[in-house]
Amino acid sequence: MSMAAAPALAEQPARAQTARKGKPTKAPKNDLKPALLFILPAAIGFLVFFIYPAIKGFYYSFTDFELLGDANWVGLENYQTMLSDELFWNALWVTLEYVVINIGVQTLVALLLAVLMQRLTTSLLVRGVLLLPYLIANVVVALVWYWMCNQLIGIINIGLEAIGVEPQAFFGSPVLSIPTIALVNVWRYVGYTALLIFAGLQTIPPQLYEAAAIDGAGEVKAFFKITLPLLRPVLAMVLVVTITGSFQIFDTVAVTTAGGPVNATRVIYYYIYDLAFNRYHFGYASTLTVALFLILALVSFFQLKLMRADQTDLD
């Protein structure tokens, strides 16, 4: 190569870079419009099937609306009636009893299953088996357990008789009916809850357990000192979801006991349904719906605050 050609070759990259700098760059693509198009169907459904009925129901809570009549404004009369309604307070108490049993047992069993999955196996087959009850329709689950618990021909009572225990009216006893319904739903939802907790366990660095083992900490101490504190945000989310869902228990009660015996299983959701679609007191039923919404909002708020769901110890 001649010395005269060397400067020309050296100038070529500089010229190319100058040309690239001078070339107008394309403006970044705006994804807002396509995103809005994808969101639009869900937003319309949310407005039509949630926001509008919620606003309408809130309005009806101040009226005496019934199916065949006009909605006449009655102010706070429905709310005053609610405060003195013994059936409402009974329904609230029965629902609270159900929630305590259901959430208490479900959370403990789900936590145990999640830890066992993390420690012993991460098999997809095991996760699938755990999730199977959740995939079955709740009405089907309720009917199957209803026949299994039948006092005369149910397989559970046949098993109890075989070991010398008297047959029990699981769904017909005022004492056993709510615990039975709660445990049926524990069986259905515990696998789903366990998988949520298991996902949270995967976010905990394994190095922490290794360091704890070097320091001589056993499995139990590591669980209480490492697993539970670091799992707190996930547990808070799980408890908010499960408690909110438990307060809305309806289908199992409707299929098995229909609120009986003697209002022993008349949970708040079933009482609202009975008022609206059996007695056609839509105004008063809307009042109870608003009350339930406020109760769930307060419960969720205090749960998140007390459990410090927005904070993590992983930082």
Q: Is 266 exposed, middle or buried (0-12, 13-18, 19+ CB in 10 A)?
A: buried
- Per-residue pLDDT tens digits for 149-171: 999 899 999 999 999 999 999 99
CA distance 162 to 175: 23
- Per-residue pLDDT tens digits for 31-64: 888 888 999 999 999 999 999 999 999 999 999 9
Across the strands, what pairs with 63?
73
Q: Are 61 and 290 in contact (CB under 8 A)?
A: yes
Which residue bears the tokens 């009405």? 139
Q: Are 304 and 285 in contact (CB under 8 A)?
A: no
List, in order, residues 6 or more apart from 310 with CB less than 8 Å away.
Answer: 233, 304
CA distance 273 to 197: 33
Q: Are 108 and 193 in contact (CB under 8 A)?
A: no
Q: What are phi and psi of 73, to 5 degrees?
A: -70, 125
All domains in the chain, ordered by first residue:
77-306 (1.10.3720.10)
* pLDDT, the chain, mean: 87
Q: Which of 263, 283, 285 is closest to 273 using CA atoms?
A: 285
| Angle subtended at Cα 21 by Cα 16 and Cα 27, rounded to the nearest 5 degrees | 130
Model pLDDT, residue 309: 61
Model pLDDT, residue 175: 93
Model pLDDT, residue 23: 53
Q: What is the DSSP letter of 258?
A: T
Q: What is the enclosing helix (H) or strand (E) of 137?
A: none
**Average confidence (pLDDT) over 26-33:** 70
- Per-residue pLDDT tens digits for 240-280: 999 999 999 999 999 999 998 989 999 999 999 999 999 99
CA distance 223 to 225: 6
Across the strands, what pairs with 204?
none
